[in-house]
Amino acid sequence: MIYLTNVYTDKQILIFGDKMTFRENEILQIIKSNPMISQQEIADMLNISRASVAVHITNLMKKGQILGKGYIVKKENYVTVIGGSNMDIQGFPNNPLVMYDSNPGQVDISMGGVGRNIAENLSRLNINTKLISAIGNDLYGNTILSECKNLNIDVNDCLVSDEYSTSIYVSILNNSKDMQLAISHMDIIEKLDESFIHSKHKSIDDSKAIVIDTNLSNEAIDFITRTYSHLPIFVDTVSTAKCLKIKDILDRFEGIKLNKYEAETLSGIKIENLDDAKKSCEFFINKGIKNVFITLGGDGVYCANTDKAVHIPGVKINIVNATGAGDAFMSGIMYGFMNDLDLEETAKFSVGASILALSHKNTINPNLSVDLINQTIKELI
């Protein structure tokens, strides 16, 4: 598919093998949202000269992003991620936690949210990514939007609320670097309702695939999975409580990523060994899901589709921060889908991504890349 447009868009991003600057991408997105916009209007929006806009448009034509007179813009293959965004406030104790007391340690603040994290990981893997999320018109929300744009994530369809504040997720890790407890303030996610999702129909419908997380409301999940049943939809189940939202609609998903406890909750099968994991995968396959990935902690990953089942054993590494491993794994699944990897290749790539997440203090490893994941796979998996 192509769009008729009238114009184009300095950080580097990679699209179809051609490098675009941040400004070029910015102009390209403006053109896509308003095909009849003039060069002067773009210049006014970006506070640059009309001559600069013309130069960027010429460069975009040379790079094949605009295909000729009339400014026909090349359609991109992209993944749309619909889910939560928030600021993460994370505490790391220096010693074993003492309950009901003040614990010396470290506190870090970073961007988070399952949907937003998956989107960032995907962008770092050179997958064109659109994020549809809800943030407040406040300091945290503006920070999230700005940083996502810097990461070349399309956030043009995010909801920005003057009524609700940006979500905040506060977590306390134990001295093993695993989460001990957390508080999530995510009321704003309810604003991603059927009406708002419907208003973004074209952006979603033009996606090659959709990823949702179960932070979304029951209403939003039902609407998305019914309306876009013609597209492959993948789901991150998030938690044992929130995964129940999809219990009765499992057949609507192309792929699912769960941990052991979420799989037990949805399947009713206690997972104590690999045979149990196999039975759990078979449960989801029989429900109509094409690709199932169950993470088993230190026991690795068990995954299956209608053709085969694969177990990737656990890898012993020094865990620095465990909170972003699942989001990285989900991005690996989507990388596999977008690049036509088979089940085992996808599982190994996803494990490699999660190892890199576990190995860095940040929720998302800023060094994440396809090359580094492949190197990790060769060395450890």
Whether 146 has a pLDDT exceeding 70, the answer reads yes
Instruction: Tell me, yes or no, whether 171 and 31 share the same domain.
Output: no
The boundaries of the domain holding residue 255 are: 79-380
> Which has the higher per-residue pLDDT, 316 or 351?
351
Kindly give, in sequence order, each residue whose CB lies less than 8 Å from that of residue 187, ignoring residues fewer than 6 positions away.
Answer: 164, 167
The 3-state DSSP class for residue 54 equals helix
Instruction: Tell me, yes or no, whether 114 and 228 share the same domain.
Output: yes
Whether 200 has a pLDDT exceeding 50, the answer reads yes
* The pLDDT value given to residue 54: 87
Instruction: Tell me, yes or no, whether 25 and 119 share the same domain.
Output: no
Could you give the number of structural domains in the chain? 2
Lowest mean pLDDT among 3-12, 44-53, 267-276, 370-379: 3-12
Instruction: Tell me, yes or no, whether 60 and 104 share the same domain.
Output: no
Q: Which of 74, 108, 132 is the last residue of a domain?
A: 74
Q: Which of 44, 74, 104 is the last residue of a domain?
A: 74
Q: Which of 31, 50, 74 is the last residue of a domain?
A: 74
Q: Which of 241, 95, 260, 236 is nearest to 173 (CA)?
A: 95
The phi and psi torsions of 183 (rounded to 5 degrees) equal -125, 130
Instruction: Tell me, yes or no, whether 197 and 283 share the same domain.
Output: yes
3-state percent breakdown (helix, strand, coil) of the chain, nearest 5? 40, 25, 35
Kindly give, in sequence order, each residue whose CB lies less than 8 Å from that of residue 99, ignoring residues fewer than 6 positions away.
Answer: none
Instruction: Tell me, yes or no, whether 40 and 103 share the same domain.
Output: no
Instruction: Tell me, yes or no, whether 63 and 92 share the same domain.
Output: no
Q: How confident is the model at residue 317 (pLDDT cuts 50, 70, 90)?
A: very high
Alpha helices in the chain (DSSP H): 22-33, 39-46, 50-62, 114-124, 139-150, 194-199, 201-205, 218-227, 260-267, 274-286, 325-338, 343-358, 370-380
Instruction: Tell me, yes or no, whether 225 and 368 share the same domain.
Output: yes
Instruction: Tell me, yes or no, whether 107 and 145 share the same domain.
Output: yes
Whether 375 has a pLDDT exceeding 50, the answer reads yes
* The pLDDT value given to residue 73: 56
Instruction: Tell me, yes or no, whether 178 and 296 share the same domain.
Output: yes
Instruction: Tell me, yes or no, whether 92 and 234 share the same domain.
Output: yes
Contact present, 193 and 221 (Cβ < 8 Å): no
Instruction: Tell me, yes or no, whether 156 and 172 share the same domain.
Output: yes
- CATH number for the domain spanning 125: value is 3.40.1190.20
Query: Model's pTM, two decimal places?
Result: 0.78
Tokens 């494990």 appear where? Answer: 351
**Please, what is the average pLDDT of the chain?**
90
Whether 256 has a pLDDT exceeding 50, the answer reads yes
What is the per-residue pLDDT across 288-309, written as a single tens digit (0 to 9) for each? 999 999 999 999 999 999 999 9
